[in-house]
Amino acid sequence: MKRYNIGRWIGICGWGDEGIGNFINSPYIGSNIRPNIGTNKRDMQQTKVSLEKGQMQFIENYRKLGFKDKSSVVRTAIEEYKKLLRKQELIQSANLYAEIYNEDSELQELTDAAIEDWPE
């Protein structure tokens, strides 16, 4: 593994292939739109992380990916991963609410009664 010094913070110490795969499928790849992540130099912190060879090769292509530097690639990947985790939490929560609703006939009746009075 090659050591690489990157900017800001790392919430995950070396993401796996899944993280990279999700990043590659990101809407940012191939577009000129980049999120405004950590652009204030005062907010930047330094850390060292260990990356696998393939991950390092991916980051080395930052210009082809439309980023200004290697740190921007990592910051964007982290933000995309955080969004993915939040989405998974919301889906899990929605599934739990649906399960509770399906098992609670009283709640279903209450919902149906509220819908009857709802204006069309």
pLDDT digits (tens, 9 = 90+) for 26-37: 444 444 445 555
Mean pLDDT value across residues 76-89: 96
Q: Is residue 72 part of a domain?
A: yes
pLDDT at 73 exceeding the cut of 70:
yes
Q: Is residue 89 part of a domain?
A: no
Confidence of residue 90 (pLDDT cuts 50, 70, 90): very high
Q: What's the predicted TM-score (pTM) here?
A: 0.57
pLDDT in the model for residue 61: 94
Supply the range of the domain harboring residue 75: 2-83
Q: Is residue 117 part of a domain?
A: no
Q: Is residue 15 part of a domain?
A: yes
Q: Is residue 70 part of a domain?
A: yes
Q: Is residue 6 part of a domain?
A: yes
Q: Is residue 111 part of a domain?
A: no
Residue/partner pairs of 9-12 with CB below 8 Å, 24 or more apart: 9/45, 9/47, 10/47, 10/49, 10/74, 10/78, 11/78, 11/82, 12/78, 12/81
Shortest CA distance to 70 belongs to which of 40, 42, 49? 49
pLDDT at 1 exceeding the cut of 70:
no
Q: Is residue 94 part of a domain?
A: no
Mean pLDDT of all residues belonging to the chain: 76
The total number of structural domains that make up the chain: 1
